[in-house]
Amino acid sequence: MIEDANTESNEVLVHSELIFKNEEFNLRRADGFSPEVIQFLDTTTWGTEDTLYEHKKTDERIRDLTDPIPILASIEDRLLALVVMDRRVVSNAGFSCVSYFFRYLASNASFRERATVGKAGQKTMDIVREGEKEKAIYFASIEGRNRRSYNFVKGVGYEQIAEIRTLGFSRFFPRSSNKVEQVKSEAERDEVRQLLQQKYGQHSLMHFSNLFKHDHAYVLKRDGKIKAFVQVHEALWVIKKMKGKKGEMIMKYVPRIPLINQLFNPNRFQFVAFEGLYYDEKLSDLTRLMEATLAIHQVKSAMFWFDAKDPLYNEFNEKASLGLLNKFVRDNNAYILASFRNLTPEDENRVRHAPAYISGFDNI
């Protein structure tokens, strides 16, 4: 996610190749992620001035990226910013192409260096675009309240193609189910892929790169048939600051309230993220499966995301019993901004108008 980010680290040790240099900054493409890089991202504070948080489990996230491209921006020998893109093939309502998702933009720049960070970010985008000869989509997810990042990305030629809506799901006492099974065999994975292809075949940015990770994929079966599917990603956030008086009260009092603090504790918010949500006949089969995965992973909370254009968003919002957590997170919306290369006008319009597939993994 492209966000305002700060870190106290001033040095990142990693082997890298110089790809650009001028009098203001230089860019290097790293050949991997050193422990220092992981620490740099793990201690980065994301968000805006009124909402700040840290994403943990960074080492696991980095290992799970599909085809990461890390680029370091420096002034002399001091790290200024770290950009990480994840390259993947996506389906877009009838055609496929490569895509570049801006997974991280972390900066330890001072206020006077922010303009340089912007220039380095723009140059990074230009270099990656220039090297791509095939059809490609470049996209980033930006929090709705972060107008500075939003305006910067729009200013370098990206356009808004989707509004991401956040949904929370929680149960104080999640129940397991003997109808729920872990997806393990390749044959069953193929079956799930076919079902998801039917469900999301008219979406843009659809891919299966983040499915079946760590064997955290589950189905609910009835009469031997798959009735629902969900992929689970374990997550841990530390919330440093929340917006307004309401946010201050949540930060101060919620950690002290029994049961509530098991759903949402800003000091250590453990939850799971869902993606690839599927049901055959009944939405209740899917919510029953979701509840069972909370029991399996021993948490009480989950979050998941949809494009506002996605019919599934309206179904969940209007028909599902989501639980108390949804009241905490439902206003945390974001936008997808994208840029196209070598696409026909028809292809571009398909991407603009189709609901975007939102990966839970990309949001944690």
| Beta bridge pairs of residue 181 | 219
Positions of E strands within the chain: 4-6, 16-21, 26-30, 45-48, 51-55, 68-75, 78-91, 96-107, 136-143, 159-170, 180-182, 217-222, 225-241, 269-279, 301-307, 334-341
pLDDT of residue 80: 83
pLDDT of residue 25: 93
pLDDT of residue 130: 86
What pTM did the predictor assign? 0.89
pLDDT of residue 40: 78
Residues 6 or more apart in contact with residue 138 via CB below 8 angstroms: 99, 100, 102, 125, 128, 129, 158, 338, 339, 340, 341
Q: What is the pLDDT along the chain (364 residues), one digit of tens a residue?
A: 555 455 444 444 457 899 999 999 999 999 888 887 888 787 777 776 667 777 888 888 899 999 999 999 988 878 888 899 999 999 999 999 999 999 988 877 666 677 888 888 889 988 988 888 899 999 999 988 888 889 888 988 899 999 999 999 999 999 999 999 999 999 999 999 999 999 999 999 999 999 999 999 999 999 999 999 999 999 999 888 887 787 888 888 888 889 889 898 988 999 999 999 999 999 999 999 999 999 999 999 999 999 999 999 999 999 999 999 998 888 788 999 999 999 999 999 999 999 999 999 999 9
Task: Give me the domains of the chain, ranges plus CATH numbers.
Answer: 4-166 (3.40.630.30), 168-330 (3.40.630)
DSSP, res 339: E
Nearest to 182 by CA among 146, 156, 153, 218: 218
Question: For residues 328 and 71, what is the distance between their CA atoms, to the nearest angstrom?
Answer: 35
Residue with tokens 């900054």: 25
DSSP, res 12: -
Sign of the CA dihedral running 208, 212, 213, 216: positive
pLDDT of residue 59: 87
pLDDT of residue 336: 97
